[in-house]
Chain A
């Protein structure tokens, strides 16, 4: 019997990079195929070919045995192939409901949109993905994880034969992820073929029936999940041994360097107090919408505060703008790299240099290109950014490598306090370990780190202490000795 979707000998090159070389994979009805691989391995490129975004240089696609050559996204959609891309593509100024039905809005014979039916349908779909917002809400007001759920609801609104999810869980917390997996299982039973791309291997083991490993643009191994184990999978992905996911840290915890007292930002969070010490890694856990990102932004001066104060190195500092924060030795790695972290059409060099332009100049005025080059080359080497050179535009980097560029820039201001919002979002295992090592090294040198993450395992493995936020307030604190997933979930959900 013919496979639902089959790709044979697919190759694709971009100027300067061979993204895919002779890749052959297949997908059957009623199964979940996992695709794993390092950043830049070619996962998203492969799926963009399925989606009709790119045409392959070589190779062919078959859909239920018939040749299939999508020339544009429309062709794939019409064939019942739905791809939820890694970089989200919602229309910010339209409502959630309109975004869900974008391109096939329900309408009457006169072409008028049937608002009521629209919102009704949207409500049902939102419930299925576990997103608790009104269908009329503008997408602009949603956080990145909520937007992710809207994308999934949109996929559910169509008659799908194939659904591809490119890192759908990167920003989801455990609760939303559980709902997503239930949805995936239901779709699988209904005979849909699903592709699931993730850097969270435990999820891959939980949900996938088969797993294929991409490395440097080639499909190196494909096996049923039961025949993989975690070490073997990592080994196949990175082709070098990785000893410990969370390397040990030997940091001496020192004085309080950041004290937040009764910080309030009307409409976002209330009365948040915390102390962060030199050498300490403090985690901030909570469900989506609990206000974690907003706390980081407020400390950084990127969100106006309506009460409370922030003390850095036991001095009162007035941080009104990100510039003030940087001057006080505070750095932020924002959650949404595309909207807040990077200038996508610019080069790696320009993006890395952006926070330290005066320092990279003569008399703080005239740019010194040599200094900019050296800074960017260091960042590329230190963080092992996979690129054809520092002149490559960041929009053509893979998602994980884009994230590394943002981290690379944060390091250039030599901060003592790091605010990291989902720092490993979309980063592969190997790179994650590098980021963890980096965090450890920074802590060992006396830096203080406040990290928001939706990945519970990451928080448990990395932090000295975890604070839990719930609906805009600090609901509890757990020291390392008492770490357990249940305790933290308990605070996050109930308080």
Chain B
């Protein structure tokens, strides 16, 4: 199964491309192991089940959002709004719960609002021909603003237990949130690598004009990726609210940067046409490890910000170097 996910619809049996990719995935795995060993040796707490659980939970949120971001980035776009959308959909779900709507309905409210916000970006990108970077930046501010407006800046809390289980509960020995994340990754991996839609996503990202002339529904494909990204951010908002048993308008600030970093570390190119869900999974785990390590080693929060920024810079640098070499 895993090997199926490594191989996107665009599999390359030949040439430099496959070599670079193989090296990349190997590098990620080696990096992952290196960081783990280092943390296991130098900190007493790293290998405790409580710590591993907390890595998994933190990675769940980044992971779900990063899956949506992968679709967007493979088309050559970007969605900066996801962190704010997590906060906004979280508080909307909270408000729905406090209005005594049934739990499943409240969850659908969260996911639906996320999808709507993705639909808004999609409309601006396809029909109004606006740049995804600017549109999603605007939505980042608007969604955050709305989250404050609807809550008056207050935290919303005391949700029913059946809801909190989604974020914090266990099914057998496994955290429910991690299981949901796993399902999201599996489904997304299959969709991107094995379906017509997935192939269209790669084609649109690889060469939009050629895809259009080949008869691929470019606008539909672009719209769907932003809607998927928004809906998954909505799901992230629901899970976060469940885990914290509360929803705050300032939640998930900067989450988009973690998600984008995970996708790019996972081998996707910001130029489009390249990337995979398995890569993103590895990227998410690396980001989770780095964040966890920074906490365990008591690194000052200001430095944490700086280091996360530097990691993103490094990942994007490698991407553009690769791109340059491909051009030559």
Contacts and interface: CB of A to CB of B under 8 A. Distances in A.
Bind each other = yes
Nearest to A73: B328
Contacts of B2: none
A495 interface: no
A463 interface: no
Interface string A349-392: 01001110110010011110000000000000000000011011
Contacts of A395: 326
A53 interface: yes
A350 B15 contact: no
29 contacts: A16-B15, A53-B328, A300-B213, A323-B216, A323-B217, A339-B209, A343-B202, A343-B211, A344-B207, A345-B17, A346-B202, A346-B203, A346-B206, A347-B13, A353-B199, A354-B199, A354-B214, A357-B200, A358-B196, A361-B195, A364-B196, A366-B195, A366-B196, A367-B195, A388-B14, A389-B14, A391-B11, A393-B15, A395-B326
Interface residues of A, number: 42
B207 A342 contact: yes
A302 interface: yes
B210 A322 contact: no
Contacts of B266: none
A355 B215 contact: yes
Contact of A332 (B196, B203, B213): B213
A95 interface: no
B274 interface: yes
Given A339-B209, A340-B210, A350 B199 contact: yes
Interface residues on B, range: 20 to 34
A304 to B, nearest CB: 13
B188 to A, nearest CB: 14
B243 interface: no
B167 interface: no
A409 interface: yes
A343 B213 CA distance: 11
A342 B214 CA distance: 9
A334 interface: yes
A350 B207 CA distance: 12
B196 A391 contact: no
Given A391-B12, A392-B15, A393-B17, A350 B203 contact: yes
Contacts of A361: 195-196
A471 interface: no
B95 interface: no
Given A343-B203, A365-B195, A365-B196, A409 B214 contact: yes
A177 interface: no
Contacts of B15: 14-16, 392-393, 396
B208 to A, nearest CB: 10
A396 B13 CA distance: 13
Nearest to A356: B215
B1 interface: no
Nearest to B219: A321
Contacts of A53: 328
A55 to B, nearest CB: 12
A229 to B, nearest CB: 39
A411 B203 CA distance: 19
Interface string A35-47: 0000000000000
A86 interface: no
Shortest Cβ-Cβ A-B pairs, 8 listed: A391-B13, A343-B206, A326-B215, A354-B214, A343-B207, A357-B196, A355-B214, A323-B215
Interface of A: 14-16, 53, 300, 302, 321-323, 325-326, 332, 334, 339-347, 350, 353-355, 357-358, 361, 364-367, 388-389, 391-393, 395-396, 409, 413
Nearest to B218: A321
Contacts of A355: 214-216
Contact of A345 (B11, B196, B211, B274): B274
Contacts of A302: 212-213
A357 to B, nearest CB: 4
Given A339-B209, A341-B210, A389-B13, 5 more contacts: A323-B215, A323-B217, A343-B202, A345-B274, A347-B14
B16 interface: yes
B213 A334 contact: yes
Interface centre among B14, B197, B198, B328 (most CB of A within 10 A): B14
A395 B210 CA distance: 14
Nearest to B197: A365
A403 B211 CA distance: 16
Interface string B125-147: 00000000000000000000000
B216 A345 contact: no
A443 B72 CA distance: 43
Interface string B173-214: 000000000000000000000111111101100110111111
Contacts of B198: 367
Nearest to B217: A323
B9 interface: yes
A43 B194 CA distance: 38
A346 B214 CA distance: 14
Contact of B199 (A334, A339, A345, A367): A367
B319 to A, nearest CB: 14
Given A358-B196, A361-B196, A339 B12 contact: no
B209 A340 contact: yes
B83 to A, nearest CB: 31
B273 interface: yes
Given A339-B210, A343-B211, A345-B273, A350 B13 contact: no
Contact of B212 (A322, A364, A389, A396): A322
Interface centre among B10, B206, B214, B328 (most CB of A within 10 A): B214
Interface string B1-25: 0000000011111111100000000
Contacts of A16: 14-15
B216 to A, nearest CB: 7
Contacts of A339: 207, 209-210
A350 to B, nearest CB: 5
Contacts of A344: 206-207
Contacts of B212: 302, 321-322
